[in-house]
Structure 1
Amino acid sequence: MSLTNKVPEKDVHDLFTRVAPHYDQMNNLISLGTQNGWRKKFFKELKVEAGDFALDLCCGTGDLTIALAKQVGPSGNVIGLDFNQKMLDLADKKIRAQNLQKEIQLKQGDAMHLPYPDQSFDIVTIGFGLRNVPDADQVLKEIYRVLKPDGKVGILETSQPTNPIIKLGWESYFKLFPNFAKLLGANVDDYKYLSHTTAKFISATRLKEMLEQDGFKNVTITKLNLGAGAIHIGIKKKMR
């Protein structure tokens, strides 16, 4: 079963161009102010090794990309890919501020059609991006293709709490979410779309099933903030 975003890709691209100046604040709101803690937990679960060649998809303004580069160290290398140049420009400023130009390369591209050969990367990550691509299942297939045997995928994403009370609170919070746009001087309609894709993204269990259907093994789920977010780790096993 494919997970698709029915909003035209160009419309989503234009939306992210508009929200780029507020993107970091938006992610902080989505994670209820705990995104830094989410990232630390993410890398604890992912277990990146020094020297890994890594790809960070939908890299946005580069926070996860930079953290990934620090994990692989100077002997490794990271590519951050995003379809929006405005996001990449902001990421580039952060990378230069931390003098990581040698460790990180940025590329504008499509996560559904990766411009890399089969079996290229040790690690592929995607944070807060899967819910906004036109075809998430196609992205997972592309991740599997470009991973080396025994390579790992790491996904950090919002999720659906299973506790009905927590779920109600989560949905109520995101009904208020567009109001935060006014505080940031942003477009309210843009934030209505982002709150919808965040609150209505599939459950952690369903995403695990999709990863397994696309060939990943030993898929694990680590829930965050009582299920408001989730970390998925999967391995591309060697062919026997």
Structure 2
Amino acid sequence: MDKMMELRRYMTGSWGELMEAKAKEQHVHEVFERIAPKYDFMNDLLSFRRHKAWRAFAMKKMNVQPGQTALDLCCGTCDWTIAIAERNGDASVTGLDFSEQMLKVGRHKIERKGLQHKIELIQGNAMELPFADDTYDFVTIGFGLRNLPDYHKALQEMYRVVKPGGRVICLELSKPIWQPFKGMYYIYLKGILPLLGKLFAKSYRQYKWLPESLAMFPDHLELKAIFLEVGFTHVEAYPLTGGIAALHIGVK
């Protein structure tokens, strides 16, 4: 079936796009497999720990209630997965990521907190979710959407598996909206950040990927428009810390 789909794409003139998407997927997988052991430390360092405040803001907006189910996509080392599990009583939380090394770090955190009975981790593809329609009260994705080859397809899958009335929450890096902060941020992002990756994580090439991925990613207003195109209603977009991150919430 996969071969037939590839052949069909070739016949319709989208073979180049398919190869580009596969190349991006492979590259991103290699990046996260390599940086997994240092991922949490580097997140704190590179964001000046602001990612924790952003996630706390997202959790406040979600207002998770006991008994509500959640799927956390691109869950990485599981900080957001754990935060949801600690709020929703005895309900289960599922975390999905394509990097086994990132999930390995996440499993250790979950075990230390004694949450193995509440959290299931799955290695999988966020653009081809192995879940039934209308399954979860929440579907979240934190700092992962920009790394996927097809943003629309990922959001469509999130829309499919969330329940009617349920919400999809995307917390992601974005683009500053005012000067001179915008210029200063891009100097940091393109010049200083990869050097910090090289110094502290021995991963210059991997951390050079971050500004490259962000350059191609929609700003917070463009991403809001994509949410609406997919079919979400009551879409909210919140620029954070001068626009270097953004929170998007959409209702099915």
Bin of the TM-score, shorter chain as denominator length: over 0.9
2:36 aligned with 1:20: yes
Which residue number corresponds to residue 53 of structure 2? Answer: 37
Cα 1:134/1:30, change in 2 over 3 Å: farther
Cα shift readout 1:168-207 (whole Å, capped 9, x = no counterpart): 1111110211101222232211111123223553210011
Shifted more, 124-133 versus 165-174: the winner is: 165-174
Unpaired runs of 5+ residues, structure 1, are none
Offset of residue 28 of structure 1: 2.3
Which residue number corresponds to residue 85 of structure 1? Answer: 100
Distance 1:105 1:10 in 2: 25
TM-score, with structure 1 as normaliser: 0.92
Distance 1:227 1:9 in 2: 26
Of structures 1 and 2, the one scoring higher in RCO (CA 8 A, sep 6+) is: 1
Distance 1:38 1:204 in 2: 15
Offset of residue 24 of structure 1: 1.1
In 2, are the aligned partners of 1:55 and 1:80 still within 8 Å (CA)? Answer: yes
Unpaired runs of 5+ residues, structure 2, are 1-19
Which residue number corresponds to residue 103 of structure 1? Answer: 118
Q: What pairs with 1:146-161 in structure 2 (closer than 5 Å)? A: 146-161=161-176
Overall identity of the aligned pairs, in %: 44
Q: 1:164 aligns to what SS in structure 2?
A: coil
Q: What pairs with 1:71-220 in structure 2 (closer than 5 Å)? A: 71-74=87-90, 76-175=91-190, 176-198=192-214, 200-220=216-236
Which residue number corresponds to residue 68 of structure 1? Answer: 84
In 2, are the aligned partners of 1:170 and 1:199 still within 8 Å (CA)? Answer: no
Offset of residue 18 of structure 1: 0.4
Q: Which of the pair has more CA radius of gyration? A: 2
What RMSD, in angstroms, separates the aligned Cα atoms of the two structures?
1.5
Q: 1:61 aligns to what SS in structure 2?
A: coil
Cα shift readout 1:78-133 (whole Å, capped 9, x = no counterpart): 00000011111110000000000011000000000000011111100000000101
Distance 1:160 1:7 in 2: 25
